[in-house]
Amino acid sequence: MSHVHNFSAGPCILPQEVLEEASQAVKSWDNHGLSLVEMSHRSKAFVAAMEECRALTKELLELPDRFEILYLQGGASLAFLTAAMNFLPEGGQAAYADTGTWSAKAIKEAKHAGRVNVLTSSKDDKYNHIPEVADVDGDNAYLHITTNNTIFGTQYAHMPQTTAPLVADMSSDMMSRRFDPEPFALIYGGVQKNMGPAGAVMYAVDRARLGQTGRSIPSYLDLEVQLGKDSMFNTPPVFSVYTTLLTLRWLKALGGVEAIQARNEAKSGLLYGEIDRNPLFEGHAQIGSRSHMNATFRLVDDSHAATFDDAWNKANINGLKGHRSVGGYRASMYNALPLESVQVLVDVMKEFERTHG
Amino acid sequence: MSHVHNFSAGPCILPQEVLEEASQAVKSWDNHGLSLVEMSHRSKAFVAAMEECRALTKELLELPDRFEILYLQGGASLAFLTAAMNFLPEGGQAAYADTGTWSAKAIKEAKHAGRVNVLTSSKDDKYNHIPEVADVDGDNAYLHITTNNTIFGTQYAHMPQTTAPLVADMSSDMMSRRFDPEPFALIYGGVQKNMGPAGAVMYAVDRARLGQTGRSIPSYLDLEVQLGKDSMFNTPPVFSVYTTLLTLRWLKALGGVEAIQARNEAKSGLLYGEIDRNPLFEGHAQIGSRSHMNATFRLVDDSHAATFDDAWNKANINGLKGHRSVGGYRASMYNALPLESVQVLVDVMKEFERTHG
């Protein structure tokens, strides 16, 4: 059977051994005599899995004790609202950096909770870079950033230095690189890139900062309620949480985030090297803002697109089409993508240069 | 290998063939060369699966054209809020029937959207029956009911007749029996009982009734937004939706809701017959309010509880402990539970009578 090189932007590639173990658990989970998805979420076995998943998340992200972990539903799209409901006080304001489609959505939802101060935006440049953020003072409850912009292929090289705490959507680079958690009040992200199958969203919450908005929050959106129930306020997305646990175990066995970061930098280095070297291609994102997760690029001469598309399709490459708002190509190189897949893509690009250069 | 008789209240038993097909899809989905959970939700294959799932839901529930189907996240717990945000106008009120823990939660969340008029409650009787509901007039935007009360083992034998439209949480009896959809404006329910694995909640919405609250609704909670994106406003819970589709296909092949209703009535008839006949047991729910999904009962003399527990455990019966707020036992007999499992339980009860009667 031919191997597919999966560059999908998300849902996306997961480790093969994780998929095999998850598949087995759907049939029959360990020695329980039942499928994982047929058992009560209050069973000892699943409660233990949820607790291990929460603890391992904290360990792998090297978060200090003040953070607590939740695995909820609704994706980052609901987290945009949840973040603002829990951290933007009644009558207060929060600062937002607009670095892409998902930042813009975060801004839209936050307006349901209070005033939003959009500090900076790279929209007029087709979101091709991460703009500088000046200090954000304490008049803002927080500064919200989107650490990696999947669609445009940009990523914060360093987190902004601000007086106000940071709230971050890390959906597409969570667990892909180390970062200093010190400035953060809240980190969240859908699991469906580096962490697991779609259906769960992770929140790392500084619990001491909750309960200060003066607002009555609906229960599902209230992070204090969710923490008070140990991430089991209602039936959790059992399969997504369990498979995330398997992926985190895989990551830990590999050496954790530091080890995967080195691999990710090798992959992105290989591909950006080729984009910069090969005269037939050009990158979308500015060099200082390039993402290690999603590389966006295009053909300098678009008239050969059909031939290039045919070539990568023949090489069993999947999911390389760029998002409609950028066009061109997007190679998503999440944690589980092997270097070999990037090499296959680079080889196709080299061969394309040889035949069409 | 000994077969487990799975009476869990939810997440709960699913058809064995569905679990095997879902397990296979997690490893490698049909001829796509990738796992179901590694593929983009925008891929042709997954879009087709979502559309088939939505269409089959409508077909099996025999819903008229005015209804449209969504599969979202957040469970019924978030749907409590979503229902009120979309159907309770600013400054208006809605009527609620309080028939159990989940009704009470629905009432609590609806208060975030407007005035809640609790028409009736069986709380003082430990929720052991479904109280009569008088006509609900047009001053109420809707009457909200919980059609089946998992914890207390009660179920509406007939839907209330009211002037105001009905909004119903059918989490624990959806797809288990036929009903007339005519009076409904909204039907919703977590899939993790009769429909699939935890992680998705189904909404059947009368679209023409949306957009009349005068309220600005956050995007994830706005059913018009979700319908405008064909249930793909954001990444859906891929595994839960796909496995729900497999379960619905299984149900259709079996003869649909009418056929499963006959099976369910045979199962509940067998168990309630034994509860009423066997002098060592008594039911919790009043006879006219008994649920076909969850039978609640207890030992008349609790001093033999350890022996009885030992007996059903030895018979490979799983999940029979009652909810802590009721005590005793609860046998959940969802669609996928075979009659044979109920027979095993009845046999254990008979044997217990023989040895301890």
A206-250 pLDDT, tens digit per residue, is 999 999 999 999 999 999 999 999 999 999 999 999 999 999 999
- Decide: A160 and A166 in contact? Cβ < 8 Å: yes
**What's chain A's average pLDDT?**
97
Sign of CA dihedral B221, B227, B233, B238: positive
pLDDT score recorded for residue B138: 86
- Chain A with chain B: Cβ pairs closer than 8 A: 181
Is the model's pLDDT at B79 over the cut of 70?
yes
pLDDT score recorded for residue B59: 98
pLDDT score recorded for residue B68: 98
This prediction's pTM:
0.98
Task: Name the CATH topology of A16-254.
Answer: Aspartate Aminotransferase; domain 2 (3.40.640)
Interface of B with A in 270-309 (CB under 8 A): none
Cβ contact, residue pair A218, B81, below 8 Å: yes
d(CA A50, CA B349): 35
Q: Which two tokens stand for residue A174?
A: 């969570």
Task: Select the residue of B2, B9, B39 nearest A8 (Cβ to Cβ).
Answer: B39
Interface of B with A in 151-210 (CB under 8 A): 190, 192, 197-200
Average pLDDT over residues B27-49: 96
Q: How confident is the model at residue A95 (pLDDT cuts 50, 70, 90)?
A: very high
What is the SS3 assignment for A202? strand
Burial class (CB in 10 A: 0-12, 13-18, 19+), B315: middle
Average pLDDT over residues A20-38: 96
Q: Which two tokens stand for residue B261?
A: 């209703």
The 10s digit of each residue's pLDDT in B327-340 is: 999 999 999 999 99
Residue labelled with tokens 């895989």: A250
Q: Which two tokens stand for residue B228?
A: 């405008």
Is the model's pLDDT at B1 over the cut of 60?
no
Average pLDDT over residues B97-121: 97
Chain A CB within 8 Å of residue B34 CB:
yes
The ipTM of this complex is: 0.97
Q: How confident is the model at residue B291 (pLDDT cuts 50, 70, 90)?
A: very high
> Domain ranges in chain A?
16-254, 256-356
Is the model's pLDDT at B148 over the cut of 50?
yes
Average pLDDT over residues B24-44: 96
Candidates B98, B193, B206, B312; catalytic one: B193
Q: How confident is the model at residue A2 (pLDDT cuts 50, 70, 90)?
A: low
Residues of A in contact with B13 (CB under 8 A): 38
Chain A CB within 8 Å of residue B317 CB:
no
Distance from CA of A264 to the nearest CA of B (A): 19
Residues of A in contact with B17 (CB under 8 A): none
pLDDT score recorded for residue B2: 62
What is the SS3 assignment for A109? helix
Cα separation values, A181 from A69, A96, B121, B289, B344, Å = 14, 19, 49, 54, 55
Report the Cα–Cα distance between both ends of chain B, in Å, rounded: 32
Beta bridge partners of B204: B69, B187
pLDDT score recorded for residue A137: 87
Chain B CB within 8 Å of residue A319 CB:
yes
Task: Select the residue of B11, B27, B199 nearest A73 (Cβ to Cβ).
Answer: B199
Instruction: Judge whether A102 counts as a catalytic residue.
Output: yes
| Strand residues in chain A grouped as ranges (E) | 5-6, 67-72, 93-98, 115-121, 140-146, 148-149, 154-155, 166-169, 184-190, 201-206, 281-283, 294-299, 317-318, 329-332
What is the SS3 assignment for B75? helix
The 10s digit of each residue's pLDDT in A184-207 is: 999 999 999 999 999 999 999 999
Domain B256-356, CATH = 3.90.1150.10
Residues of B in contact with A202 (CB under 8 A): none
User: Above pLDDT 90, what percent of chain B?
Assistant: 98
Which one is predicted more confidently, A1 or A333?
A: A333
Interface test with B, best of A7, A220, A320 (most B CBs within 10 A): A220
Say which amino acid occupies B262: A
Q: How confident is the model at residue A272 (pLDDT cuts 50, 70, 90)?
A: very high
Average pLDDT over residues A45-64: 98
Cβ contact, residue pair A37, B75, below 8 Å: no
CB atoms within 10 A of CB A256: 17
Q: Would strands B148-149 and B154-155 be described as parallel, antiparallel, or unpaired?
A: antiparallel
Average pLDDT over residues B250-256: 98
User: Above pLDDT 90, what percent of chain A?
Assistant: 98
The 10s digit of each residue's pLDDT in B191-237 is: 999 999 999 999 999 999 999 999 999 999 999 999 999 999 999 99
pLDDT score recorded for residue A1: 43
Please state the φ and ψ torsions of residue B78, each to the nearest 5 degrees. -80, -30
Average pLDDT over residues B162-173: 97
- Residues 6 or more apart in contact with residue A71 via CB below 8 angstroms: A50, A53, A54, A191, A200, A201, A202, A203, A231, A236, A237, A240, A241, A244
Candidates B102, B173, B222, B250; catalytic one: B102
Please state the φ and ψ torsions of residue A212, each to the nearest 5 degrees. -120, 15
What is the SS3 assignment for B93? strand
pLDDT score recorded for residue B134: 85
Distance from CA of B236 to the nearest CA of A (A): 7
pLDDT score recorded for residue A134: 85
Is the model's pLDDT at A73 over the cut of 70?
yes
Q: Which long-range contacts (CB under 8 A, 24 or more apart) does B136-140 make?
A: B136/B95, B136/B160, B136/B162, B136/B163, B136/B164, B137/B163, B137/B164, B138/B163, B138/B164, B139/B93, B140/B93, B140/B94, B140/B95, B140/B164
